Amino acid sequence: MDASSTLKEFLRETEVDPSENHRARLLQAYDLVNSELVAFNFPIKTVRLAHKIYGYLGNKGIHKRVELMNRFLQTGNGNLDDKFWAKWELVDNLALLNLYSDMIKEQQEFLRWCKAHMVQDYWLRVMYDSTQAIGWFERGMIDEWFDIYHALISKVVPTSANRRDRALYVETAAGLLVHNLHRYDQAISEIERYRSIVSEDALWDEFDEFNSRIKTYELGVYGGQQQWDKYDQVVEEAIQIIKDRMAKHERGTPVEINGICDMAHEIGACLMWEKRYERAIPLFEYAIAKQGTGVTHFYYAVCVWATEKNQAKTIYHLRMADTTTKGNQGLRSRYKKMFLDVEEFADVHDDKKFLSIFSE
């Protein structure tokens, strides 16, 4: 078997039984792809496959991704799009490792390279990621990040082709203002900019998805300002939208089920952070039943532990978070830190039963 077919087998086995650890199959794919990379001098197809395989290997895999991107870029292989992808992944995986000083240096160089080689739409993608943006905040350079943001968002000509990239960039700016900086008045201005971008075309394929996500930032503002009447109103509006879409899906009306689950997860997360666990739980349960991403299992485990102290149930969902493949590339290395950061788990932060769950 080659690396590609071995990875497919790992994914199939995990899909059938995600509660089991299929690491032996994954490590087989890892060994095979490493051999293929060297044998064929890092062709882009194999590099992308290796990147995917490494994503399921926790911190070790994230470090290997950084090495892989550097090695690929040194070969000179690939076209401009391939090089853009590799540079973006290099920055992103440094962010996942919390190597923020290195990340910022690489991202600054990436932006200079992109301006020299790529059209304007690509410039937004260099900077729009929220995980990367948090690195600038953590290093005390958030004002520099916003200087770049305002320069790019005002310079790049708005088109339907770059609408999604503009929405993601403004979403990241709004998120920083709400969750990291607590500058709620500025956040409201960015949320309105976000809304105006999304509203450019009500027939846009991603209109419903982004229009729904606006509500999570509104909840962040209202929660931060303790405007609970407005908070509750937005929650009710969001849950009603989710229920309406659930009903349409059950009737067989074409509705993207992952979109419903994503919204249920995001609203559930907002409720969870405000300790409104009972309202969050049904949203997470629906998303788990219909989609089941790792991070949804994790947040559900937070709610279960906070409300029930049910050790078996909590451990099951934490283990599902760590082992499931859906939405989990690059996340496995982060669950242990997330566990140690969540105050709901403070009473078991040093419990070996819990700590043994997570991949390193």
Residues whose CB falls within 8 Å of the CB of residue 293, separated by 6 or more in sequence, listed in order: 261, 265, 287, 324, 326, 327, 328
How confident is residue 105, by pLDDT bands cut at 50, 70 and 90? Answer: very high
Residues whose CB falls within 8 Å of the CB of residue 298, separated by 6 or more in sequence, listed in order: 317, 318, 321, 335, 338
Angle formed by the axes of helices 3-16 and 23-39, to 10°? 160
Structural tokens at position 99: 């190597």
pLDDT at 116 over 80: yes
How confident is residue 330, by pLDDT bands cut at 50, 70 and 90? Answer: low
What is the value of pTM for the model shown? 0.92
Q: Where are the domains of the chain?
A: 1-78
Structural tokens at position 16: 């059938």
Question: Are the CB atoms for 216 and 183 separated by under 8 Å?
Answer: no
Looking at residue 276, what is its pLDDT? Answer: 97
Contacts within 8 Å (CB) and 24+ apart, 81-84: 82/44, 84/114, 84/118, 84/122, 84/125
pLDDT at 154 over 90: yes
What is the 8-class DSSP label of residue 313?
H
What is the 8-class DSSP label of residue 181?
S
The residue among 201, 119, 132 whose CA lies nearest residue 167 is: 201
Cα dihedral 279, 285, 287, 289, rounded to 10, equals: -160
